[in-house]
Chain A
Amino acid sequence: MEDATVNNRERLPSDLNQVLTVAKYDVLKHFRSKRLLGLLVLEGLVLALMFALPIALNLDTSDDAAGYMSSYVGWVSMLIVIGATMFAGDAIVSEFQSRTGYLLFPNPVKREVIFLGKYLSTLSIISLMVVLYYGIAAVLTLAMTGESTVLWVYSMLFALCYGAAAAAVGFLLSTVFKGSTGSLVLTFFMLLMILPLIMAVVGMAGYDTVLIMSSAEYVISGLMSDPYVAGGLAPDLWASLGVLAVYVAGSLLAGLVLFKRREMVS
């Protein structure tokens, strides 16, 4: 083995380059994992059932593209919750629990780089999942109604924002827990039950539910109507978008602080 002199300090890549490297290999993890395969199978199953069941049972479906596609869009938030759980729920804690942190952390990489790279990767996978779902649903809509609508694109863009917020919450919980199981379970129940429950109670008490992240689910469905009408549990579009941004920023910031402070102990 030769021993050439190299300047390891000078050739260190920028933080941004390192973020992209971490993201690239984390995406590879998702592509090689059974979780992504399982979620894609689930997505396919939902699409197949939504398409085939009305035909098989001879049910009337809307002739209007937006109306027909709304039935597909109704499942998007559930898929995002599952996606955020599977790809964000243990993203950070797994480095500690499975001891891969012993491999990664002694490298000249800042903790924030690792955190953001992993978040970027999770965001990419959730986005892929959402875009794929909307894309196939749009094709099926075209096939069944003979027309298309731009409304699904708005709904999809908002769903991507909801996905970013759900993933950020998952990341925050992932930095708190000592074990993957607890982190995954709490992420799932937080997004599926706890936040919706709080929203329902807040709504029943007569308060605006826009501050609860789960209210964004109503926007995803509501955007399939033109114009979008706020009311009931459906919050104002721009206010909801702002709330999602706050969830993303707040959760990531808190998660990052916790991750930086977390020590690699056996």
Chain B
Amino acid sequence: MDAPIQVHGLTKVYGGGFRAVDALELNVPRRSFMGFLGPNGAGKTTSIKIITNMLTATSGEAFINGVSVMQDPKTALADVGAVVETPEFYPYLTPMETLQYLGSLRGMTECEITNRGRDLLDMVKLTEWKEQRVGKFSKGMKQRLAIAQALLPQPSVIILDEPTSGLDPRGMVEVRDILKQLHKLDVTVLMSSHLLNEVQEVCTDVSLINRGKLLRSGSVADLLNEVKAKKIEVKTMRPLTTDMFDRLRAVPGVQGFGVTGDLSFTVEFEGNDEAQAGLLISLQNLGLMVVSFKESGLALEALYMSLINDSR
């Protein structure tokens, strides 16, 4: 069992017959940062809750480092740090006391918790709040503290359930910066998300699920290679007028385009870097006065949408 997280035939049927997870198969390779991607209601959170022993599976098994979560949850979760949904903290404890509590439950010494807790609170930018009770913290601060507590025991497996969900843009950036730092550690990460750009930004691998079933799994790079068409966002000084449409369609590699504003449009394009450079020249030759020309990070979106649509 080399994959630290393995899920076999996991099924969860709620009362009323709703099948939230349907014979899910999942392997998270060692040292990978796997995005667990799917639309709302796809079964991501339910799967993660079963893996972290908060829900009981109807059938199937989940293993962490070779130990069944169903048979021996205490041992299975010993080397796991998790942030599931947005946890609430005990409002009467300070961040450091919270870490002391959770660290003690894992057998860490007080000295170890204090030293590591100090480093982690510094990492998640909560040092100046370490003596304040958590009750008055904002959602973003709580989410950062949640990540700190997940990292506290130096686990080899980290499970994150939509860690940026519900945060304001600043909070999302702060949490993503922390997530990127996880790449430096010798850890395996499973992170659920429905934000494609987030997954593309921080994950090395991705598993796509819908209706509780795995649709596709692999490295982000491999999956992106499957998507030949790119989406290119263009902003111009002059508008793209109807008389230019045919000339744009005739540019090699252009599959289609859509006007998104008076001075902006997107081009679906298929071709190598040289062909893409040719597109830019063609756009300038149309007299559009291109201000910006960038590949949209939504290549994954195309694959995602096609897989989701196929699974309906």
Check if B90 sits within 8 Å of A25, measured CB to CB: yes
In the assembled complex, the Cα of A9 lies from the Cα of B66 at a distance in Å of 13
Given A25-B93, A105-B53, A106-B52; A9-B75 close (CB under 8 Å): yes
User: What is the CA–CA distance of A264 and B54 in the complex, to the nearest angstrom?
Assistant: 5
User: Is A13 within 8 A of B105, CB to CB?
Assistant: yes
Q: Which of B97-118 contact A (CB under 8 A)?
A: 97, 101-102, 104-108
Assess whether B78 is interfacial by the CB under 8 Å rule: yes
Shortest beta-carbon distance, A58 to chain B, in Å? Answer: 46
Q: Which of A210-249 contact B (CB under 8 A)?
A: none
Cβ of A265 < 8 Å from any Cβ of B? yes
What is the bound-complex CA distance between A173 and B120, given in angstroms? 39
Separation of A18 and B153 alpha carbons in the complex (Å) = 16
Query: Is B119 a contact of A8 with CB atoms below 8 Å?
Result: no
The answer for the CA separation of A5 and B159 in the assembled complex, in Å, is: 18
The verdict on A60 contacting chain B, using a C-beta distance below 8 Å, is: no
B55 pairs with A21, CB closer than 8 A? no
Given known A-B contacts A3-B184, A264-B49, A11 and B108 have beta carbons under 8 A apart:
yes
Q: Is B248 an interface residue (CB 8 A)?
A: no
A144 within 8 A of B: no
Task: Flag if B90 contacts A100 (CB, 8 Å).
Answer: yes
Which residues on B sit within 8 Å (CB–CB) of A105?
52-54
Q: How many A-B residue pairs have CB under 8 A?
A: 117
Interface residue A12 (Cβ < 8 Å from any Cβ of B) = yes
Does B245 touch A at the CB level, under 8 Å? no
* A15-51 near B? 1/0 per residue, CB < 8 Å: 0011001100100110011000000000000000000
- Contact of B220 with A by CB under 8 A: no
Interface of A is mostly: loop
Does A109 lie at the interface of the complex (its beta carbon under 8 Å from any beta carbon of B)? Answer: yes
Could you tell me if A102 and B74 are in contact, using CB atoms closer than 8 angstroms?
no
The distance in angstroms between the C-alpha atoms of A6 and B263, with both chains bound, is: 56
The distance from the CB of A129 to the nearest CB of chain B, in whole angstroms, is 19
Chain B hits for A13, CB < 8 A: 104-107
B14: nearest chain-A partner, CB-CB: A265
Q: In the docked arrangement, what's the CA distance between A4 and B80, Å? A: 15
* B201 interface contact, C-beta 8 A: no
- Tell me, rounded to whole Å, the shortest Cβ–Cβ distance linking B182 to chain A: 10
Asked, given contacts A1-B120, A3-B154, A264-B54, whether A102 binds B84 with beta carbons under 8 Å apart, the answer is: yes
B149 CB–A CB distance under 8 Å: yes
Contact B55 A263 (CB under 8 A): yes
Judge whether A6 and B92 touch: CB under 8 Å.
no
List of B residues within 8 angstroms of A265 by Cβ: 55
**Minimum distance in angstroms from A239 CB to a CB of chain B:** 40
Q: Which of chain A's residues has its CB closest to B65's CB? A: A9
Chain A min CB distance to B154 (Å): 5
A8 and B82 contacting across the interface, CB-CB below 8 Å: no
Report the separation of the CA atoms of residues A227 and B156 in the bound assembly, to the nearest whole angstrom: 65
A172 to B184, CA, bound (A): 46
Task: Output the least CB separation between B239 and chain A (Å).
Answer: 47
Check: B25 CB closer than 8 A to any chain A CB.
Answer: no
In the complex, per-residue mask of A90-134: 1 if CB is within 8 Å of any chain B CB, else 0: 000000001111110111111000000000000000000000000
Pairwise interchain contact A8-B102, C-beta atoms closer than 8 A: no
Task: Judge whether A12 and B90 touch: CB under 8 Å.
Answer: no
Q: Using A3-B154, A107-B102 as known contacts, say yes or no to A29 and B92 having CB atoms under 8 A apart.
A: yes
Instruction: Using CB atoms and an 8 Å cutoff, list the residues of chain A in contact with chain B.
Output: 1, 3-6, 8-9, 11-13, 17-18, 21-22, 25, 28-29, 32-33, 98-103, 105-110, 261, 263-266
8 extra A-B contacts, CB within 8 A, seeds A13-B107, A28-B92, A100-B87: A8-B156, A9-B79, A12-B107, A22-B105, A25-B93, A106-B159, A108-B106, A109-B105
A-B contact pairs, 23 of them (CB 8 A): A1-B181, A1-B184, A3-B184, A8-B78, A8-B79, A8-B156, A12-B107, A13-B104, A13-B107, A21-B101, A25-B101, A28-B92, A28-B93, A28-B97, A32-B92, A33-B92, A99-B85, A103-B88, A103-B90, A107-B102, A108-B80, A263-B56, A265-B55
